[in-house]
Amino acid sequence: MDSDDCYMESGEEDLYSDGADDYYDGDDHDGYDKDDTGFLVDDDDDDSSMISSPRSHINYVVLKEEDIRRKQESDIAQVSMILSLSKVEASVLLLHYHWNVGKVNDEWFADERRVRTSAGLEGGSAAVPYSEGGKVACGICFDYFCPTDIVPIMCGHAFCSTCWTSYISIAINDGPGCLMQKCPQPSCPVAVGRDMVEKLVSFEAKDKYNRYFLRSYVEENKKTKWCPAPGCDHAIEFSATGTGRSYDVSCLCSHRFCWNCTEDAHRPVDCDTVSQWIRKNSVEAENTKWILENSKACPKCKRPIEKNHGCMHMTCTPPCRYEFCWLCLGAWSEHGAGTGGPYACNRYSKAKVEGMHDEAEMKREMAKNSLEKYTHYYERWAGNQTSRQKAIGDLEKFLKEEVMKLSEKQCIPETELGFITDAWLQIIECRRVLKWTYAYGFYLPESEQEKRQFFEYMQGEAESGLERLHKCVEMESEVFQNPEDTPKQDLKGFRTKLTTLTSVTKTHFETLVKALENDLSDVGFASGVEVTI
C-alpha cells in the first residue's frame, strides 16, 4: 500500500481496542494532546490497546474521498499504460471487470479480441449514412444534420447531439446503471464512455455520473466497503493477510464496525451469531412470544385475551362477550358445584391427566421457558450497551470539563491524569465485549454443560472485575475534586488502585476473548478444576 493512503492501519498485531479512535475525531495527536474536540488522545496504537490479541496480522486502511479518487485514477492510468489504451477505454474495461486490475491484464493477454467485444470496446462497423447534400441522418429522431452536429461513436452509429444528451441524461437519472450504458442502436454492444458524458450532459448530470463512477470503485471492489455510519463518506480497504477471524475496524469518523457483516464491532462473537441475535431482537418476533405466553385465544372468536385479574372467570371483549374459564377454556355457564365451585375448576387437572391439554400446555410451557431465557440474556445485553453509552458520556464529560479542574485543584499536570482516561477507555471496550458475550451465551447449546459452566465462570470473573473497575472510577474519583479533603498522597493511592484494577480487568477480558475465539476449546483442561458458580 502507498504510504499516502494509510490514514489508519493496524500494527503488527491485531490490537483490538476502542482506544481513542472510538471517541475522537482528528488525524494527528502527540501523547495525550488535545484534538479539536478538546479530548485527550493517545497516539501510540500499540500501547493504547484495551484488549489485544497477537494471533494475526490484519491490516486495513481508511480511505477518504480524495484517496479513493486517487487510487481509482491510478488504476486507470496503470491499465491504460500497460495495454496501450486511452483512459476512457481503460475505464470501460475496469468497470466491466469490477475494478480488478489483475484480472483485466490476465484476460486481455489471454484473448484481446474477446475482451474487447465483451467489454464493449468494439462492435459491428456501420457506415455513416450521408444523404444528398452531405447531411447525416440521426438514428433516433431521423432528422438530417450537418456532420458537425453528429456525435459519432466507435461502432459508427450516428446520432445528433440533442438525442445523445437526452439518452445519457435519462440513463444517469435512472441510477448507477448508466456506468454500463451501451450504444442506443438496438443490439449494439459498444459502451458509452466517460468522454461522451463530459462532452454532452449538464453540470448536474455530470456530477451525478462522477459520483456513481467513484462509488463503483468501492462497491464493485471486493477489498473495500463504505463505512456504514450515517453521513460518513469514508471507505475501508481491508487486507486479510493474517490467519485470524477478526474483521473489526475503526473508521476516522469514530464508528467501529465489523468489515465482514458491517454490523457494530462484535469481537469475539462471530458474524452468524450476531446476525441471529439481531433477528431475534426484532419486535414482532418477541411480541408473538409474549402473546403466546401471556394470553389465550377466546374459545368462540379466537382473539387473544390477556388475564389481568385473579379470578378464572373471563369475559371476552365486545362484540363477542363470551364467558369462559381461563383454566379449562370451557363455558362459564357449565361451572358450578360439579367443577369444584363457580370460581374453582378441577376440570383442567383432570383433562391434563387424561392427555387432553398436553400438547397445548407443552407448547405454552416451551414458549414461556424460551422467553424467560431470552429475557435473561437480552436484559444483560441491553444493560451493558446502556452502561457503555453512559461510560462514553462520562468520559467525554471528564475530558471536557473535569480533567482541567482536577489538574488545577490537585496542582498536577493533566498528563498525570491519563490513568483515569485509560480506565474509562478500558470500561467502554469491556462493556462492548461483555455485551456480545451474552449473545454468545444465548446460543450456547444447553447440552454442552461443561462448556456452559466454563463460559459462565469466565464471564462472571470478567464481569466482576469490570464492575469493580467501573465503580472505582465512577464513585471514588469524585472525591478528588475537593483538594482540602484529599491530600496528594491519597491521589497517588487512588492512581495505584485504579491502574491495578484496569490491568486486572484487561487481563480477565483478554482471557475471555481468547477462550471464545477458540470456541472454548480449553474446557477439557478447565474441567479438571472444580468451579463454583
Active site residues: 311
DSSP string covering 156-205 = --EEEHHHHHHHHHHHHHH-GGGGG-B-SSTT--PBPPHHHHHHHS-HHH
d(C-alpha 507, C-alpha 516), whole Å: 14
Provide the b/e sequence for 242-251 (b: ≥16 CB within 10 Å). Answer: eebbbbbbbb
Locate 116 and state its grid cell.
474487447
3-state secondary structure 27-57: CCCCCEEECCCCCEEECCCCCCCCEEECCCC
Alpha helices by DSSP H, listed for 398-417, are 403-410
Q: Reduce the DSSP state of residue 95 to 3 states and report it.
A: helix
Q: CA-to-CA distance for 430 and 124, rounded, in angstroms?
A: 64
Q: Identify the three-state secondary structure at position 313.
A: strand
Q: Which residues contact 126 (CB under 8 A, 6 or more apart)?
A: 155, 156, 157, 185
Cα angle, residue 43 at apex, residues 38 and 46 outer, rounded to 5° = 145
282: Cβ–Cβ under 8 A, 6 or more apart, which residues?
none
248-250 and 235-239 strand pairing: unpaired
Residue closest to 169 by CA, chosen among 136, 128, 199: 199
Q: Any bridge partners for residue 229, and if so which?
A: none
Report the alpha-carbon angle 303-309-313, nearest 5: 65
Q: How many CA atoms lie within 13 A of 190 on its CB side?
A: 19
Of 499, 503, 495, 393, the C-alpha closest to 39 is 393
Compute the distance between CA of residue 42 and CA of residue 274 in angstroms, rounded to an integer: 30
Q: What's the rounded Cα separation, in Å, for the pair 469 and 15?
A: 22
Determine contact, residues 94/79, Cβ cutoff 8 Å. yes
Give the whole-angstrom CA distance, residue 452 versus residue 28. 45
Q: Is 338 helix (H, G, I), strand (E, B) or coil?
A: helix
Q: What is the CA radius of gyration of the chain?
A: 34
